[in-house]
Amino acid sequence: MKWERAAMACFLVLAALAFSGCVSGAGGKLAPVQVCASDPAAQLAAEGHYLATGNGSFLAIWGAWQNVIVTAVLIILLVCGLVYAISNAIAYRNLTVWAQSQMYEAFATLVFAFLIVGIVSWMCGVDARIVGATCDPACGPNGCGCSVFKVADDYLSQFNGEISKAWWAVAMANMAIAALSTTVFSVGASGLGTTIGLGPGLSQVSASMSSALIMIGIAQLLTIAQLELLRLSAVLFVYLLPAGIVLRAFGITRGFGGGLIAIAIGFYLIYPLSIVFMYGLVDSQIHNQVGGAPGGSDESTWQQQASGPIVGWMCGLVGTILVGAAVVPFITFIIVVSFVRGLSQAIGEEVDVSNLTRLI
C-alpha cells in the first residue's frame, strides 16, 4: 500500500510538471516557464512587454522561484519525515498525525504551484476570439497573438483612445461655441460708442461643456488607472504567486500564503478575463456615439446645435463613458473580489473582503 502511494505521488509530481510546461534544463535545474511567449518570433516582437522577457518579468523571476519553492517543499518533507520517524519511534501518535498532514500539505502545495503555472500557460495559448473577442493577431505594442491578456490590454487601450476622441470632440465643440460667445458688435466714433455681445447666450452651453470635459477627464483617469492595474497585476503576480506558494508550504504561514495566491490569481487571470468580456460591448457603444459629434461652419448652425442637439449628444456621450469608466470596473471588481474570496477560503485564509469594500 505504501509503495502504491509513493508511485502515485511520483506520478502526480510528474504530471504537474508536464502540465506546467516545465522541462529539465542543464545541471538538473528547471528551465523557466515561458508565459505568453511560446513562439520565438512572438517573444522577440514582444520584447520588453510586461508579460514577456526582460528584467522583472515572470519569465525571468519564475525560474529562480521554482528552485526556492522546490527547496522549501523538500525541506518541509525532510523535517516532517524526520519528525514522522521520531514520532513512530517514540510512539507519539499526535506527532505522527501532524507530520503526516504537513507532508500532505507540502505535497499539495507543490502540485498546486505547477497546476497554477500550467493554467497560466494554457491561458496564454488560448485564442480569446473563440469567445467572441475582436482582436488582430498581428504583433503590436501589447504583444502578438490574441491571448486574454493582450485582448484585455487592447480593449482598455481602445476604450482609452475613444475617451480621448470624445474629449477632443467636446473640446473642439466647446472651443467653437466659446469663441462665438465672445463675438461683439461695436458702434462708435471718437472714443464714444456702444457695444453689444452677439453670443453671450452661448456661454451657458460652453460652461456645461467645460463640466463635461472635467467628467470625461476623470473617466480617462479611471481608465488609465485600470490599464496600470492590469499591467501591475502581471508584475504583482510574478512576486505574489511564488511568495504565496512558499509561504503556503509552511504550516504557520499557510493561510497567509493561500491568500496571496488567491490575490495573485484573481488579479492576473480573472481581472483580464472580465475586462475582455465587458469592454467589447462598451467600446462599440462609445465608438458610435463619438462618431455622432456635432459640427458646423457658421454661427447659426452652432446656435441651432447649442439649443438642444449638442446637449443631448454630450450627455449621452458622457453617460456611456461613465458606464465604461465607473460601472463596468465596479462589476469587474466584484467578480475579482468574489473569486479571490472563494479561492482564498479554499486554499488558505479568507481574504478580509469587508476591509476592501470599506475602501469604497
Partner 1 sequence: MMNKMALLALVALLAVLPPVSHALGTAGCNGGYPDGNCEIGESCDCSDCWGLNPPESGGATFCDASKFQVCLPEDGKPPGDTSAAHKCRAPPAWYQPEVERVAGNWQVWGPISALAVLIAMLVVALAYMLGIGFDLPELRMWAKSELYQALASAVLVAGLVMLVAVMTDEGIAKILGQAINPFSMAYGYLLPLAEQLKSLYAWNYGINFPVEAFSSLDLYSNATLTDIYFLFFLKPTIVEPLHLANHYVIQVLLTIYFQVAILNFFQQAALGTLLPLGVFLRIFPFTRGTGGLLIAMAIGFFLVYPTIFGFITLMTEDENALRASMAGDTSSTLGVDVATYNACDHNLEAAAGEAEKQTDPAILSKINERYSFLPPLILKILFYPIVVFAVTFTFIKVASPLLGADISEVGQGLVKLL
Please report whether residue 255 would count as binding partner 1 according to CB under 8 A. Answer: no
CB atoms within 10 A of CB 130: 8
Strand partners, 206: none
Site string for partner 1, 291-310 (x = CB under 8 A): ------------x--xxx--
CB 168 within 8 A of CB 220: no
Residue 14 contacts partner 1 per CB under 8 A:
no
In sequence order, the β-bridge partners of residue 186 are: 195
- Check if the beta carbon of residue 332 is closer than 8 Å to that of residue 225: no
Contact 143, 51 (CB under 8 A): yes
Q: Say whether residue 188 binds partner 1 (CB under 8 A).
A: yes
Query: What residues pair up with 31 in beta bridges, in sequence order?
Result: none
Residue 321: name the closest of 227, 216, 224, 221 by CA: 216
Instruction: List the one residue from 248, 260, 339, 348 that touches partner 1 (CB under 8 A).
Output: 339
Q: Given candidates 161, 200, 255, 296, which one binds partner 1 under the rule CB under 8 A?
A: 200
Residue with cell 465608438: 287
Instruction: Report if residue 320 touches partner 1, rule: CB under 8 A.
Output: yes
Binder to partner 1 among 131, 175, 214, 221 (CB under 8 A)?
Answer: 131
Count, residues near partner 1 per rule CB under 8 A: 68
Q: Residue 40 or residue 93: which is nearer to partner 1 going by CB?
A: 93
From the number of C-beta atoms within 10 Å of its C-beta (0-12, 13-18, 19+), residue 187 rates as exposed
d(CA 46, CA 132): 24
109 φ, ψ (degrees, to nearest 5): -60, -45
Q: How far is the CB of 303 from partner 1 (least distance, A)?
A: 8
- Name which position in 55, 94, 194, 297 contacts partner 1 (CB under 8 A): 194
Does residue 8 touch partner 1 according to CB under 8 A?
yes
Which cell numbers in the block locate residue 273?
Answer: 478575463
- Pick 8 or 74: Cβ nearer partner 1: 8
CB of 335 to partner 1, least distance (A): 6
Binding stretches for partner 1 (CB under 8 A): 1, 4-5, 8, 12, 104, 130-132, 184, 188, 191-205, 207-208, 211, 215, 270, 277-278, 281-282, 285, 303, 306-308, 311-312, 315-316, 318-320, 322-323, 327-328, 330-331, 334-335, 337-339, 341-343, 346, 353-354, 356-358, 360
